[in-house]
């Protein structure tokens, strides 16, 4: 990778449009010591177009470690990522302040914190650990930011980050957000420790959960920029502020039922 050259990746199949998250005028509260890579442009964010994020299966690896924090790395080795999300009302494109947002994902080796029976041979346990999990509250402009690392792959899944937005105590928007295949392939081939497992067995195009999301408008792919070793991943997430879409997508109805029927 060439250190002063910035590369930007925008997926053709982005269901949710990437938002400009440049420091000027963003309203984003940046935690200390996060290298701010040049952010994706807002050219792929047409005025007045805010798409509803489809509900996605939570997966087996969620728990709440009660960690309100911007830096969720806990020292895990991997390519540093500034994850910048903005939560807006899908109908009016207006920011939604004061919402709790949880994120969690696997480490560079494809292992989640807090669970046993993981890894390629199902012999890895991380019980008692809380890395790569955290909570932030949206600011007045609907922004949250996390300092994390690029997620590794594990068998049967393309690289992804899980997101929960709490509209109230019982109504949740649960989704999965993804990275462009080309940048995942580049990072796994060129950077340690990913290069120990350089070839993911699943891409966005072959991931069943990613493909299921296309029924509701497309796979949800982050806009990603690289500047040297720093990576910025940005996304605008449209939600139904009434909670109706989230409630319909829960249980065995709607989108969730389609996932279970894979």
Confidence of residue 92 (pLDDT cuts 50, 70, 90): confident
Q: What is residue 230's predicted lDDT score, i.e. its pLDDT? A: 85
Do residues 142 and 96 lie in contact, with contact meaning Cβ atoms separated by under 8 Å? yes
Q: How far apart are CA 80 and CA 189, in angstroms?
A: 16
pLDDT > 90: what percent of the chain? 50
Q: What is the architecture, at CATH level 2, of domain 6-260? A: Sandwich (2.60)
Return the structure tokens found at 13.
């199949």
The DSSP output letter for 4 is T
For residue 114, give the nearest of 100, 99, 95, 133 by alpha carbon. 133
- pLDDT tens-digit series, residues 109-140: 999 999 999 998 899 999 999 999 999 999 99
Return the structure tokens found at 222.
């982050």
Q: How far apart are CA 255 and CA 220, in angstroms?
A: 14
Burial class (CB in 10 A: 0-12, 13-18, 19+), 180: buried
Return the structure tokens found at 14.
């982005």
Do residues 23 and 30 lie in contact, with contact meaning Cβ atoms separated by under 8 Å? yes
Least-confidence region, from 21-35, 69-83, 108-122, 214-228: 21-35
Q: What are the residue ranges spanned by the domains of the chain?
A: 6-260
Return the structure tokens found at 139.
């600011």
Which carries the bigger pLDDT value, residue 145 or residue 258?
Answer: 145
């Amino acid at each position: 990778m060439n250190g002063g050259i910035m590369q930007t990746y925008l997926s053709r199949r982005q269901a949710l449009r990437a938002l400009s998250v440049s420091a000027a005028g963003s309203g984003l509260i940046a935690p200390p010591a996060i290298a701010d890579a040049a952010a994706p442009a807002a050219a792929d964010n047409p005025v007045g177009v805010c798409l509803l994020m489809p509900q996605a299966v939570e997966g087996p690896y969620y728990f709440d470690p009660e960690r309100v924090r911007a830096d969720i790395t806990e020292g895990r080795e991997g390519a540093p990522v500034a994850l910048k999300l903005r939560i807006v009302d899908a109908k009016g494109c207006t920011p939604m302040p004061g919402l709790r947002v949880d994120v969690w994902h696997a480490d560079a080796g494809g292992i989640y914190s807090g669970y046993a029976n993981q890894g390629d041979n199902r012999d890895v346990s991380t019980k008692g650990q809380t890395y790569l999990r955290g909570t932030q509250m949206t600011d007045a402009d609907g922004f949250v930011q996390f300092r994390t690392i690029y997620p590794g792959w594990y068998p049967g899944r393309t690289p992804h980050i899980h997101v929960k937005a709490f509209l109230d105590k019982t109504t949740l928007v649960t989704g999965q957000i993804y990275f462009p295949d080309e940048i995942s392939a580049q990072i796994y081939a060129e950077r340690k420790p990913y290069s120990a497992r350089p070839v993911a067995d699943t891409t966005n195009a072959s991931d069943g959960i990613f493909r299921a999301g296309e029924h509701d408008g497309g796979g949800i792919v982050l806009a990603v920029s690289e500047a040297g070793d720093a990576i910025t991943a940005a996304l605008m997430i449209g939600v139904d502020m009434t909670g109706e879409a989230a409630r319909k997508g829960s249980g065995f109805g709607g989108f969730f039922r389609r996932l279970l029927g894979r």
